[in-house]
Structure 1
Amino acid sequence: MRFSIVDIETTGAHAAAGGITEICIYVLENGQVIETFETLINPHKYIPPYISAMTGITNEMVEDAPSFKDVAEKIYSMLEGNVFVAHNVNFDYSFVKYQLEVCQYDLRVNKLCTVRLSRKIFPGLRSYSLGNLCRSLDIPLNNRHRAGGDTAATAILFQRLLANDEEQLIIKSLKRNSKEQVLPPNVPKEHFMNLPYCPGVYYFHNEKGKVIYTGKAKNIRYRVNSHFSNNSPSKQKQNFLIHTHAISYEPWGTELMAAIFESVEIKRLWPVFNSSQKSPEAQYGFFMYTDQNGYSRIAIEKVRKSMQPLYRFQYVVEGHNILRSLMRDFNLCPKLCFIQVSHDACEGMEQHYCNGACEQQEEPGIYNQRVEAALASLKTDKTFVILDKGLQGNDQSCILVYQGEFYGMGYIQADDAVYDVEDLKDRLTRYKDNMVIRQLINSYVEKNPRKMKLLQPASVNDFQ
Structure 2
Amino acid sequence: MLYAITDTETTGGYAASNGITEIAVYIHDGQQIVDSFETLVNPHQPIPRFVQSLTGITDEMVQLAPSFEEIAPRLMELFQGKVFVAHNVNFDYSFVNHQLQSLGYNLNCKKLCTVRYARKIFPKLASYSLGNLCRHFEIPLYNRHRAAGDARATVQLLELLRKNDVNNHLHTMLGKQSKEQYLPLHLNKEDIDQLPLTPGVYYFHDAKDKIVYVGKALQLKKRVTSHFSNNKPSRQKQEFQRNIHRISYQQCGTELMASVLETIEIKRLWPKYNRAIKGYEASYGLYVYEDGNGYMRLAVDRKHKHLPAVHLFYSRYEGVTELKRLVKEFELCNKLCFIDRSTDPVCSAEGCKGACHGTETATDYNQRVQKAVDQLKQELPSFAIRERSYFNEKDSCILMEGGRFYGMGYVPTEFDFAAKDELRNQLQEYPEYDFVRNIIKRYALEQPDKVVWL
Specify the code of the residue in structure 1 equivalent to 2:246: A
- Which residue number in structure 1 is paired with residue 21 of structure 2? 21
In structure 2, distance between residues paired with 1:271 and 1:227: 16
**Cα deviation, residue 269, structure 1:** 2.6
Helix, strand or coil for the counterpart of 1:178? coil
Specify the code of the residue in structure 2 equivalent to 1:248: S
**Cα deviation, residue 116, structure 1:** 0.7
Determine if contact 2:30/2:159 at 8 Å carries over to the other structure. no
Number of residue pairs the alignment of both structures matches: 397
In structure 2, the CA distance between the partners of 1:400 and 1:303, relative to structure 1 (3 Å rule), is: closer
1:339-376 Cα offsets, whole Å, 9 max, x none, are: xxxxxxxxxxxxxxxxxxxxxxxxx758x9xxxx9xx9
In structure 2, distance between residues paired with 1:382 and 1:50: 62
CA RMSD of aligned residues (A): 3.4
Determine if contact 1:125/1:136 at 8 Å carries over to the other structure. no
What are the within-5 Å matches in structure 2 for residues 26-37 of structure 1?
26-37=26-37
Which piece of structure 1 moves more, 235-244 or 156-165?
235-244
In structure 2, the CA distance between the partners of 1:307 and 1:183, relative to structure 1 (3 Å rule), is: closer
In structure 1, distance between residues paired with 2:379 and 2:160: 68
In structure 2, the CA distance between the partners of 1:124 and 1:394, relative to structure 1 (3 Å rule), is: closer
- Which residue number in structure 2 is paired with residue 452 of structure 1? 451
In structure 2, the CA distance between the partners of 1:392 and 1:167, relative to structure 1 (3 Å rule), is: closer
- Which residue number in structure 2 is paired with residue 178 of structure 1? 178
In structure 1, distance between residues paired with 2:40 and 2:409: 58
In structure 1, distance between residues paired with 2:313 and 2:59: 51
**Cα deviation, residue 21, structure 1:** 2.5
In structure 2, distance between residues paired with 1:135 and 1:407: 58
In structure 1, distance between residues paired with 2:215 and 2:84: 30
**Cα deviation, residue 312, structure 1:** 5.3
- Which residue number in structure 1 is paired with residue 100 of structure 2? 100
- Which residue number in structure 1 is paired with residue 430 of structure 2? 431
Specify the code of the residue in structure 2 equivalent to 1:17: S
* 2:441 is aligned with 1:442: yes
Which piece of structure 1 moves more, 38-47 or 259-268?
38-47
Determine if contact 1:21/1:41 at 8 Å carries over to the other structure. yes
- Which residue number in structure 1 is paired with residue 269 of structure 2? 269
1:278-316 Cα offsets, whole Å, 9 max, x none, are: 99x95944799xxxxxxxxxxx99768799987455xxx
Specify the code of the residue in structure 1 equivalent to 2:254: T
Helix, strand or coil for the counterpart of 2:15? coil
**Cα deviation, residue 229, structure 1:** 2.0
1:209-244 Cα offsets, whole Å, 9 max, x none, are: 222222111111111111112243233432343222
What are the within-5 Å matches in structure 2 for residues 162-177 of structure 1?
162-177=162-177
Which piece of structure 1 moves more, 49-58 or 417-426?
49-58
Determine if contact 1:196/1:219 at 8 Å carries over to the other structure. yes
In structure 2, distance between residues paired with 1:56 and 1:398: 62
In structure 2, the CA distance between the partners of 1:412 and 1:132, relative to structure 1 (3 Å rule), is: same
**Cα deviation, residue 167, structure 1:** 1.4
- Which residue number in structure 1 is paired with residue 195 of structure 2? 195
**TM-score (normalizing by structure 2):** 0.78
**Cα deviation, residue 121, structure 1:** 0.8
In structure 2, distance between residues paired with 1:438 and 1:219: 23
Determine if contact 2:84/2:109 at 8 Å carries over to the other structure. yes
Which piece of structure 1 moves more, 171-180 or 237-246?
237-246
In structure 2, the CA distance between the partners of 1:62 and 1:302, relative to structure 1 (3 Å rule), is: farther
Specify the code of the residue in structure 2 equivalent to 1:226: S
1:153-203 Cα offsets, whole Å, 9 max, x none, are: 111111111211111111221111123222223222221111111111112
In structure 1, distance between residues paired with 2:212 and 2:159: 35
In structure 1, distance between residues paired with 2:130 and 2:239: 19
- Which residue number in structure 2 is paired with residue 252 of structure 1? 252
Percent identity, aligned pairs only? 45
In structure 2, distance between residues paired with 1:69 and 1:377: 70
Helix, strand or coil for the counterpart of 1:148? helix
Asked which structure has the greater CA Rg, the reply is 2
Determine if contact 1:283/1:302 at 8 Å carries over to the other structure. no
Determine if contact 2:27/2:35 at 8 Å carries over to the other structure. yes
* 2:406 is aligned with 1:407: yes
In structure 2, distance between residues paired with 1:277 and 1:63: 47
